[in-house]
């Protein structure tokens, strides 16, 4: 009997354990699993579900828990704002070499609470942690120094901030890595040392109450942080209830761009119930269908500052309150200093600070602007007067390379192989190496070690130094311009889109670029209109470029199978010509202008994702952007934004954005420099020299014409004299 009872109990336990895995289906009757014994749904018994509340929680990212207002919440990370924006498309900032300096800003809304700085980083395996260090300073006060140990991926270093050090608003954060190689001390070892800083996982953690509101300045700072690391600003909206979606998003981007002083990140529209990103975002915007029109800030469940724009379904979203909540900030001026041609300027006036180091490899770059109507076509030199010094007895091979816009103009020996001079070194280079707009001046120094197969000694004494009292002189020129797409981009004030399908992402991304554009420098007046089309609307573009066929543009942006991959310049057609004809054509092209041949020949064999072109002679106030079928809105907007701040942007009349993100520019044979000032005796000599340098054939034609005129005049004089003698 006892055995039977024990068996029944064991069998009952087995059934109880397996009940959780059973699926019981009811074919009919009232025995529904979704009904309570009283016949009411479980949702009604537990309380009605607030649909509007659920939409708000999904839109803002808020959790469904009901915490007390006074309950402390986990510290939200205030993002680090890089002083120098990171590379487009990444939130990881790399510091290369043995020494470095990274400067950030961080916003503290409530500095009174306990705060700590969280740094997510990794470093190369070649770093020797016992001889390396990373120094942290907050508001010009040293806070901590720690050894780098991020060898197996990103690690987090949590550093408490002393009380009273933070201020309400923006705080300055400086990191100074000092890295040493485990084995070697050579130039090759310098490139093996690096540290990566993950800005999306780093920030300032300040404990605060759950009921603390989101401040408008906190939202601005989050947008600046996202712009610095090229993280897109997600705009969630419901296309079924939001009326006039394109115009509403365009106005929103304009208001946010004005509110941040132009520091607006790329914009990415998403559906309200779209997938959440794995990487946390410090800020986002949500359009929320509601029974009222209201604009306000909320804290999302992931800690993000959320701008919530409520609107009644079937009505336009009212954005007037946003301008009051986030008033416009003064537009960010041009961060690059202006170099005045014809005047001697020190490098300190261009933002250059004393440059010296003891590392085996070091570099410094300064960028500056020249007026857009400055143009040098002759061999007239520019002069860099360099005030520098080097420690005597440096290892053979120590040298410094000076580059202008990426081209080397001088190699300076620092090892004593060339006798040192006490007076400054004058470096003359062709002024036409500079260009209107943005230019760069680079100093690259290599100092080999005496013992390259040993670790570097802990020596911080500078072995060379470049003084900011060095000067740069650029010759003046008459106010002249050539067709330049980079100059036109800086003057874009309006955009028009004609794209098939959903072009909201591209429209918002380019609108953000336009809002964050710095004002153009001195140059020709007038605004430019940018027309953005795809291949389906290509005939609109071809009407203004009659010499270009749709087949050639389609082959570039949508390559055909079996097409040749090399850049076409018309060389195949010229090879078929006789040798004398080929040489004659080549000399004629060099003599009558530095053009690149017909545009069709230049495009042949090239591939890209977008084509930027001027309207030719039809309308100089309009440029066109033709997009390929695989064009990425963020990549296109990033390339256009980089063209406004670097010297590697599009030039000429047509530019192709390659699949590697680089611009290839084409100039017409028929484009001549255009003078923007009256001809006078003061500029006549410079004008003649400029046009002759642009097209040397002019000098030949002018010389032959003068010779013919003199010869004909002499012949007429001789003939007239003979007739008189015969008479």
Same domain, residue pair 386 and 472: yes
Lowest mean pLDDT, pick from 12-21, 585-594, 673-682: 12-21
pTM of this prediction?
A: 0.75
Shared domain check, 540 and 464:
no
Contact 361, 97 (CB under 8 A): yes
Own/partner contacts of 656-663, CB < 8 Å, gap of 24 or more, are: 656/556, 656/603, 656/606, 656/608, 656/610, 656/611, 656/612, 657/608, 657/609, 657/610, 657/611, 657/612, 658/606, 658/607, 658/608, 658/609, 659/607, 659/608, 659/609, 661/635, 663/612, 663/639
State both tokens at 193: 């040392």
Placement of tokens 């005049």 in the chain: 713
- Residue 515: per-residue pLDDT: 65
Averaged pLDDT for residues 431-442: 93
Q: What is the pLDDT of residue 278?
A: 63
Q: Is 88 inside any structural domain? A: yes
- Distance (Å, rounded) from C-alpha 474 to C-alpha 381? 8
The rounded distance, in Å, linking the Cα atoms of 436 and 649 is: 12
| Cross-strand pairs, 626 | 533, 611
3-state secondary structure 344-370: CEEHHHHCCCCEEECCCEEEEEEEEEE
Residue 591 domain-assigned (yes or no):
yes
CA–CA gap between residue 474 and residue 344 (Å, rounded): 8
User: What was the pLDDT predicted at 85?
Assistant: 56
CA angle 591, 593, 599 (to 5 degrees): 125
What residues form DSSP beta bridges with 346? 471
Domain co-membership, 238 together with 186 = no
pLDDT winner (highest mean) among 362-376, 522-536, 582-596 = 362-376
Structure token digits, residue 600: 């069709």
Question: 283 and 408: one domain?
Answer: no
Q: Are residues 552 and 465 in the same domain?
A: no
DSSP code of 318? -
User: How would residue 331 be classed by pLDDT, with cut points 50, 70 and 90?
Assistant: low
Is residue 19 domain-resident? no
> pLDDT band at residue 523, thresholds of 50, 70 and 90?
low
The residue ranking higher by pLDDT, 48 or 545, is 545
Query: Last residue of a domain, which of 271, 292, 325?
Result: 325
Closest listed residue to residue 81, CA positions, set 171, 156, 164? 171
Has residue 65 been placed in a domain? no
The dihedral region occupied by 446, where left means phi > 0, alpha psi between -120 and 50, and beta the remainder, is beta
- For residues 527 and 573, state if they share a domain: yes
Say whether pLDDT at 61 is over 80: no
Looking at 478, 504, 525, the residue that finishes a domain is 478
Q: With 50 as the cut, is the pLDDT of residue 426 above it?
A: yes
Torsions phi, psi of 584, nearest 5?
-65, -45
- CATH at residue 573: 3.30.379.30
Please tell me the distance from the alpha carbon of residue 78 to that of residue 205, in angstroms, as a whole number: 6
The confidence band for 202, taking pLDDT boundaries of 50, 70 and 90, is very high
Give phi and psi for 722, each to the nearest 5: -65, -40
Calculate mean pLDDT across residues 296-315.
Answer: 89
**Domain assignment present for 126:** yes
3-class DSSP string for 528-551: EEEEEEEHHHHHHHHCCCCCCCHH
Asked if pLDDT for residue 274 goes beyond 80, the answer is no
Q: For the purposes of burial, counting CB atoms within 10 Å of the CB of 606, is it exposed (0-12), middle (13-18) or buried (19 or more)?
A: buried
User: Domain of 599?
Assistant: 485-669
Q: Which of 654, 594, 676, 670 is nearest to 374 (CA)?
A: 676
Q: Using DSSP, state whether 653 is helix, strand or coil.
A: coil
Distance (Å) of CA 516 to CA 43, 110, 204, 255, 634: 49, 29, 26, 11, 15
Place 35 in a pLDDT band, splitting at 50, 70 and 90: very low
Q: Phi and psi for 152 in degrees, rounded to 5?
A: -110, 40
The pair of three-digit structure tokens given for residue 155, joined into one six-digit string = 């690690």
Q: Say whether both 452 and 512 belong to one domain.
A: no
3-class DSSP state for residue 660?
coil
What percentage of the chain has pLDDT greater than the value 90?
Answer: 33
**Residue 584: what pLDDT?**
54
94, part of any domain: yes
pLDDT in tens, 455-498: 888 777 889 999 999 999 999 999 999 889 988 888 888 888 88
The better pLDDT of the pair 60, 680 is held by 680
Are residue 312 and residue 366 in the same domain, yes or no? no
Gap between the Cα atoms of 141 and 139, Å rounded: 6
Is pLDDT larger for residue 404 or for residue 692?
Answer: 404
Asked whether residue 25 is assigned to any structural domain, the reply reads no
639 contact partners, CB below 8 Å, separation of at least 6: 88, 610, 657, 661, 663
- Residue 682, domain member (yes or no): no
Radius of gyration of the chain (CA): 34
b/e string for 303-334 if b means 16 or more Cβ within 10 A? bbbbbbbbbeeeeebbbeebeeebeeeeeeee
The C-alpha atoms of residue 85 and residue 638 are separated, in whole angstroms, by: 12
**What is the phi-psi region of residue 590: left when phi exceeds 0, alpha when psi lies from -120 to 50, beta otherwise?**
alpha
Alpha carbon distance 305, 74 (integer Å): 15
| 450 and 506 part of one domain | no
Shortest CA distance to 608 belongs to which of 661, 537, 667, 541? Answer: 661
H runs (alpha helix) in 399-503: 485-490
φ, ψ of residue 716 in degrees (nearest 5): -65, -40
* Residues 186 and 139 both lie in one domain: yes
- Residues 321 and 359 reside in one and the same domain: no
User: What's the pLDDT score for residue 618?
Assistant: 67
For the CA atoms of 691, 697, 698, 702, the dihedral, rounded to the nearest 10 degrees, stands at: 150
Domain count of the fold of the chain: 5
Closest CA to 229 of 190, 274, 198, 262: 198
* Mean pLDDT over the full length of the chain: 79
624 and 618 in contact (C-beta within 8 Å)?
no
Write down which residue in 430, 447, 478 finishes a domain: 478
Site of tokens 């950030």: 104
The residue with tokens 């006078």 is 680
Measured distance CA(430)–CA(381) in Å, rounded: 5
Q: Please indicate, yes or no, whether residues 579 and 435 belong to a single structural domain of this protein.
A: no
* pLDDT in the model for residue 378: 87
Comparing 70-74, 540-544, 555-559, 693-697, the range with the smallest average pLDDT is 70-74
pLDDT recorded at residue 560: 54
| Coarse DSSP helix, strand, coil percentages of the chain, rounded to the nearest 5 percent | 25, 30, 45
For residues 106 and 78, is the Cβ–Cβ distance under 8 A? yes
In a 10 Å sphere around its CB, with 0-12 CB exposed, 13-18 middle and 19+ buried, how is residue 347 labelled? buried
List all residues 6 or more positions away from 200 whose beta carbon is below 8 Å from its beta carbon: 79, 91, 229, 231, 279, 280
pLDDT at residue 314, as a whole number:
83
What pLDDT band is residue 73 in, cutting at 50, 70 and 90? very low
**Range with the largest mean pLDDT of 60-74, 80-94, 631-645, 673-687:** 673-687
């Amino acid at each position: 009997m006892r055995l039977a009872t024990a068996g029944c109990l064991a069998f009952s336990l087995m059934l109880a354990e397996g009940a959780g895995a059973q699926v019981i289906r009811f074919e009919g009757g009232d025995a529904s699993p979704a009904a309570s014994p009283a016949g009411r749904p479980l949702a009604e018994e537990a309380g009605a579900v607030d649909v509007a509340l659920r939409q708000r929680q999904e839109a803002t990212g808020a959790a469904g828990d009901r915490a007390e207002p006074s309950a402390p919440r986990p510290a939200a990370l205030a993002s680090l704002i890089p002083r120098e924006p990171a590379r487009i498309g990444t939130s990881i900032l790399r510091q290369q070499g043995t020494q470095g300096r990274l400067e950030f800003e961080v916003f503290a809304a409530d500095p009174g609470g306990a705060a700590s700085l969280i740094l997510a980083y990794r470093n190369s395996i070649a770093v020797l942690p016992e001889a390396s260090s990373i120094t942290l300073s907050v508001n010009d006060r040293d806070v901590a120094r720690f050894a780098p140990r991020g060898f197996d991926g990103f690690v987090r270093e949590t550093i408490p901030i002393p009380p009273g050090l933070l201020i309400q608003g923006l705080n300055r954060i400086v990191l100074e890595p000092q890295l040493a190689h485990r084995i070697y001390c050579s130039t090759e070892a310098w490139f093996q040392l690096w540290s990566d800083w993950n800005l999306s996982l780093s920030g300032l953690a300040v404990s605060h109450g759950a009921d603390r509101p989101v401040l408008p300045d906190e939202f601005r700072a989050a947008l600046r942080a996202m712009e610095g690391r090229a993280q897109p600003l997600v705009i969630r909206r419901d296309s079924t209830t939001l009326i006039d979606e394109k115009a509403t998003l365009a106005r929103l981007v304009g208001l946010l761009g004005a509110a941040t002083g132009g520091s607006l990140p790329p914009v990415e529209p998403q559906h309200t119930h779209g997938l959440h990103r794995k990487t946390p975002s410090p800020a986002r915007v949500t359009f929320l269908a509601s029974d009222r029109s209201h604009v306000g800030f909320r804290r999302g469940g992931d800690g993000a500052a959320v701008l919530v724009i409520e609107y009644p379904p079937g009505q336009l979203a009212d954005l007037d309150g946003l301008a009051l909540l986030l008033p416009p900030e003064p537009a960010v001026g041009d961060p690059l200093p202006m170099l005045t041609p014809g005047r001697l300027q020190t490098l300190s006036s261009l933002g250059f600070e004393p440059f010296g180091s003891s590392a085996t490899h070091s570099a410094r770059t300064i960028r500056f602007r020249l007026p857009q109507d400055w143009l040098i076509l002759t061999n007239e030199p520019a002069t860099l007067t360099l005030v520098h010094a080097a420690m005597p007895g440096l290892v053979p091979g120590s040298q410094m390379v000076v580059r202008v816009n990426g081209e080397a103009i001088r190699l300076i020996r620092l090892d004593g192989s060339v006798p040192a001079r006490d007076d400054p070194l004058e470096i003359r280079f062709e002024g036409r190496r500079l260009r209107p707009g943005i230019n760069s001046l680079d100093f690259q120094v290599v100092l080999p070690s005496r013992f390259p197969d040993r670790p570097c000694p802990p020596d911080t004494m500078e072995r060379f130094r470049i003084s900011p009292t060095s000067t740069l002189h650029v010759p003046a020129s008459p106010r002249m311009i050539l067709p330049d797409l980079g100059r036109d981009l800086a003057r874009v004030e309006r955009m028009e889109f004609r794209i098939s399908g959903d072009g909201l992402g591209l429209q918002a991304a380019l609108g953000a670029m336009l809002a964050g554009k710095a004002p153009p420098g001195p140059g020709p007046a007038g605004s430019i209109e940018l027309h953005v089309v795809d291949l389906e609307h290509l005939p609109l573009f071809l009407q203004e470029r009659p010499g270009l066929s749709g087949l050639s543009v389609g082959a570039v942006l949508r390559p055909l199978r079996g097409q040749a991959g090399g850049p076409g310049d018309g060389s195949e057609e010229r090879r078929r010509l006789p040798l004398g004809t080929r040489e004659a054509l080549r000399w004629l092209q060099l003599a009558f202008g530095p053009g690149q041949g017909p545009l069709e020949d230049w495009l042949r064999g090239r591939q890209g994702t977008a084509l930027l072109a001027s309207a030719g002679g039809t309308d100089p106030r309009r440029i066109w952007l033709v997009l390929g079928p695989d064009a990425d809105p963020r990549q296109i907007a990033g390339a256009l934004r980089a063209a406004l701040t670097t010297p590697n942007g599009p030039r000429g009349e047509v530019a192709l954005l390659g699949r590697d993100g680089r611009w290839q520019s084409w100039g017409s044979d028929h484009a001549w420099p255009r003078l923007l000032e009256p001809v006078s005796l003061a500029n006549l000599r410079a004008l003649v020299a400029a046009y002759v340098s642009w097209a040397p054939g002019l000098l030949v034609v002018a010389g032959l014409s003068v010779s013919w005129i003199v010869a004909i005049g002499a012949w007429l004089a001789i003939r007239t004299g003979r007739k008189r003698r015969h008479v």
